[in-house]
Structure 1
Amino acid sequence: MLQYSFMQNALLAGVLISILCPIVGVFLVLRRYSMMGDTLSHSSLAGVAIGLILGTNPLLTAFIFTSICGILIEILRNYYKQYSELVMSIILTLSLGIAIILISTGKASANINSFLFGSILTVSSKDLYIISILSIISIILLIFLYNKLLYITFDEQGAFISGINVKLINYLFILLVGATISVSIRIMGILVISSMIVIPVATSMQLNKGFKKTLFYSILFAFIDIILGLILSYYINSAPGGTISLVSVILLVLIIIFKNIVKK
């Protein structure tokens, strides 16, 4: 298995994704923004379609388009403060409408399945470079913003009063979410990216640890989900996105069962 370059690329990309997705996911889940990850992951389909039509790298156009959608969500939140889920529906409708129009022209449909469901065969060396660069920049930025993000996550109003530029941090965080989604497309597929952002965090929260330990276990569970999912998808010849998602849910169920056994 490891003698194939495509599998080496997939595993390396998987390791980076297993670090980045749960780090972003922890803040999304704790801020009750889980649906934002789902909305932006589906929005990336339009970005991919734009890249395929223009003949540019779809990961870059997905990052740009997803980031724009994220910024629009943040802007619309000011108009629908009590109905944040309505904002998600507006952006999802807009982006999917654009994606369907572009794909229906026939110019982007040839390669769209690999982006929808993920594929271990399509992670090229060029894609791996882009994934690595975006992941490293995102992780460095997350480390730099960690304390402020933590403050905003638990008390946004208090963070604003204390002098933190909450709007700027929120916009930067949206860019991080966009980068996380775009680097995950090749492996996870657009339809199930959000599962890797949310499920490892949900699994680690069952352990009832503090924030830092929850973050650590989220990364550990994501690593197990992705690596095991990639290996299984190689041997059973399935789409890695669905396999990884299934593994993540099974691991969540096992942790819940283990937790209940320990309690008894």
Structure 2
Amino acid sequence: MFDYEFMVNAFAAASIVAVAASLVGYFLVIRGQTFAGHALSHVGFAGATGAVLIGVPPLAGLLLATVAAGAGMGLLVERFQQRDVAIGIVLAASLGLGLLFLHFFTAYASQATALLFGNVLGVDTQTVFALLVLGLATVGALAVISRPLLFATLQPELAEARGVSLKLVSVLFLVIVALATAASVQIVGILLVFTLMVAPAAAAQRLTIRLWPGLALSVVLALVEAWLGLTLAFYTDWPTSFWITALGAVIYLSAHLGPRRRARLVEAHDGHAHDGHVHGPLPGHHAGPQSQDGLSQLARDTPPKGATTVELEP
């Protein structure tokens, strides 16, 4: 299998994207912003097809559109009470705009198919290096803002009181999501971007509510999903995107149907269920943001809307 250069490139590209997408996806899950990530991929379709229309490389249009949309969502979406409705309208409008662009240049239908469903087996060495740069930029930027991002996610009111700009954190994070989305599209396509960005992260969060083990598990599951999907595609001649998506569904369902032992231990400790909120400290305990482990004590009884359970203690 590795005697073929296209398979070596495919494994390299899929590995880069799996790591970046799964790390970003984990924060998407705990912040309850997975729908926003899905919408960004559709905005990218409009940007990529628009770029083809004017003779610009699709990746350039994809990056520009997703980054601009990510920044815009971070600035504006919080003003809407029904933010999912607003994001859904943007999603549908972007997909329609992309189809309109394709209407004028039907000769690029094959490129549209690759954008929609991915074409990892067609990745060349130059694209692998481009994805490497994009992946490093994504992970590096996420590392830079990880501490204020965690603080703002776990306890936004306290974070704001201590000088953290929630809007700036939101904008920067969604720009990072846009970078990860642009990279993921190269592997699984716009319509299936969830399979690498959200499925491993959601499964990892289901299996452990501790931050660092959860992040590591998310990366491992995404790599397994990508590598096994490529291997099955090579030997069966079925589409790679199908296998990666199917494996993502199996991983998530397996994790979802299994017991959440850590959550049950916490429930036994304090007597109430922990699905759908961030677990905070015992009454009377206080802590500041002096360390990342200390951030676990900042989550109290009112988590961000749509957030999920996570612990940061070692």
TM-score when scaled to structure 1? 0.92
Closer/same/farther in 2, CA of residues 60 and 259 from structure 1, 3 Å limit:
same
3-state SS of 1:192 partner: coil
CA drift of 1:247 comes to 0.6
Match for residue 177 of structure 2? 177
Instruction: Give 1:258 deviation, angstroms.
Output: 5.2
Structure 1 residue aligned with 2:49: 49
- Aligned match of 2:98: 99
Aligned partners of 1:44 and 1:63 also within 8 Å? yes
- Assess if the C-alpha contact under 8 Å between 2:26 and 2:201 holds in 1: yes
CA separation in 1, counterparts of 2:155 and 2:175?
Answer: 21
Q: Which moved more, 1:69-78 or 1:131-140?
A: 69-78
The residue number in structure 2 matching 1:72 is 72
Counterpart position of 1:247: 247
Matched positions, count: 261
| Counterpart residue number, 1:200 | 200
Q: Which structure carries more relative contact order (alpha carbon 8 Å, separation 6+)?
A: 1
Q: What are the superposed Cα offsets for residues 178-200 of structure 1, whole Å, 9 maximum, x if unpaired?
A: 11011111211111112211111
Question: For 1:53-84, what per-residue CA distance to the aligned partner results, in whole angstroms no more than 9, with x for missing partners?
Answer: 2333212211110112222222332431x211
> Quick one: distance in 2 between partners of 1:53 and 1:149?
37
Q: 1:211-234 CA deviation, whole Å, 9 max, x = no partner? A: 111111111111111111111112
Query: C-alpha root-mean-square deviation of aligned residues, in Å?
Result: 1.9
How far residue 169 of structure 1 moved from its aligned partner, in angstroms, is 2.1
Give the Cα–Cα distance (whole angstroms) in 1 for the partners of residues 138 and 249 of structure 2: 26
Aligned partners of 1:59 and 1:185 also within 8 Å: no
- Aligned twin of 1:116: 116
Q: Does the Cα contact within 8 Å between 2:14 and 2:227 map onto a contact in 1?
A: yes
Structure number with bigger Rg: 2
- Structure 1 counterpart of 2:112, which letter? I
Contact 1:118 1:239 in 2 (8 A): no
Map of 1:215-230 to 2, 5 A cutoff?
215-230=215-230
Give the TM-score, by structure 2 length: 0.78
Give the conservation status (yes or no) of the 8 Å contact 2:206–2:255.
Answer: yes
Q: Give the helix-richer structure, 1 or 2.
A: 1
Instruction: Map 1:8-19 to 2 at 5 A.
Output: 8-19=8-19
Q: How far apart, in 1, do the equivalents of 2:238 and 2:56 lie?
A: 27
In 2: Cα distance, 1:206 partner to 1:78 partner = 27
Question: 1: distance between equivalents of 2:124 and 2:56?
Answer: 14
Shift of 1:208: 2.8
Segments of structure 2 that go 5 or more residues without pairing to the other structure are: 265-314
Q: Name the residue aligned to 1:135.
A: 135
> What residue identity is the alignment partner of 1:22?
S
